[in-house]
Structure 1
Amino acid sequence: MQFSSYAKGLVLAVSLAFVAGCSSSGGTQDGTMGGTSGSGAAGQGVGSGQVSGTGMNGGNGTTQASQQGIPSVRTIYFDFDRDTIRSEFESVLNAHAQYLRANPNARVVLEGHTDERGTREYNMGLGERRANSVQRFMNVQGVSPSQLEVVSYGEERPAVRGNNEDSYAQNRRVVFSY
């Protein structure tokens, strides 16, 4: 049976679209797992040590090979007006530390975020303190300081919009951006 060049091209295009769709990690663009349950951000399946697997950070130009082995949970959350790491996220941080120690050429930007409450200046400082807290934790775990960069976005890049505690909880975070 012979296919026309149009049919071959169509089959190729559909196949490529299917492969591209299958390479998604199933999470959101920042690596968090979608959906909420129970207690807001902490109910997203990240507090129970679920950090295994490989994550592909969709759309940032990196290849699947360079993403191999990076923990799929790439966001940790903080309490209101705090920069202390919650114990439920230590397993997430330990998984990232293990990956970075095993891959000395890997680099990560620790993006600090806040909810919208407080002044812009205060929130920029709080976002930086949160990211610095994660950086210190990683350094104690043996990660080279040259592998880590800290950036604060304060309230400027919310994960979700809303004026309720559930929304605020999802915006108080540090994101690992490889």
Structure 2
Amino acid sequence: MKRNLALAVLVSGAIALSACGKKHAPDSASSLPPPGGQAQSGYGEYDPDGPGSQADLRRTAGSDRVFFDLDSYALDATDQATLRRQASWLAQYPNVNVTLEGHCDERGTRDYNIALGERRANAAKNFLATLGVAPARMNVVSYGKERPEALGSTEEAWAQNRRAVTVVIR
């Protein structure tokens, strides 16, 4: 009797542990996005490369970021074209919200760069709003010089760090 009970406990444990195993990739039919476009895998998880994703924004709009001159938050013609493509992409995904991150290069004080980063993020947000993106879909955050894209104290590195990035929120 004890032996049968021990065997039953062992089998039950093995079954329970097998349920905790690694998930298998869904087949191709179940990995298609559902109607309405929100990309999910067969397990209800978000597909980070599918429609409505950050990767999709970068592919479709050409970039998820715009760049600024030193001590500036003015959007040039190239930035405006990028934001127009982003607005068009956002129109395709009305349930997608974004955060606009403002960044600066390493020069200047922390407080100055936080304020400048916020002005950069708001410049991108306001331009997107003029193109029809609802302001309620967009948040703004400034990281100042705290999250550099490129390390180094060169003009090339600084130019990459003076940016506003549109980040898809999930």
**TM > 0.5 between the two?**
yes
Which of 87, 107, 121 is matched with 2:77 structurally? 87
- Further displaced range: 166-175 or 86-95: 86-95
Paired residue type of 1:176: T
Gap regions ≥5 residues in structure 2: 1-24, 26-44
> Could you tell me which residue of structure 2 aligns to residue 131 of structure 1?
121
How many Å apart are 1:75 and its aligned residue? 1.2
User: Rg bigger for which structure?
Assistant: 2
> In the aligned structure 2, how far is the partner of 1:160 from the partner of 1:117?
13
Structure 1 runs (4+) deviating above 6 angstroms are none
1:8-157 to 2 correspondence within 5 Å? 62-63=46-47, 64-67=50-53, 69-70=56-57, 71-157=61-147
The Cα shift of 1:97 comes to 0.7
1:104–1:127 Cα change, 3 Å:
same
Partners of 2:78 and 2:65 in 1: CA distance: 12
Length-normalised TM-score, structure 1: 0.63
**1:50-98 CA distances to partner (integer Å, 9 max, x unpaired)?**
xxxxxxxxxxx84124328523411110000000011112111001111
Alignment RMSD? 2.3
Gaps in structure 1 of 5+ consecutive residues: 1-15, 17-60
Deviation at 1:120?
0.1
Q: Distance in 2 between matches of 1:79 and 1:62?
A: 36
CA distance in 2, matches of 1:76, 1:92: 7
SS of the equivalent of 2:105 reads: coil
Normalized against structure 2, the TM-score is what?
Answer: 0.66
Aligned length: 122
Q: Which residue of 1 aligns with 2:164?
A: 174
Q: Determine if contact 2:101/2:164 at 8 Å carries over to the other structure.
A: yes
Q: For residues 69 and 161 of structure 1, what CA distance do their matches in structure 2 show?
A: 27
SS of 1:66's equivalent?
coil
Identity %: 40
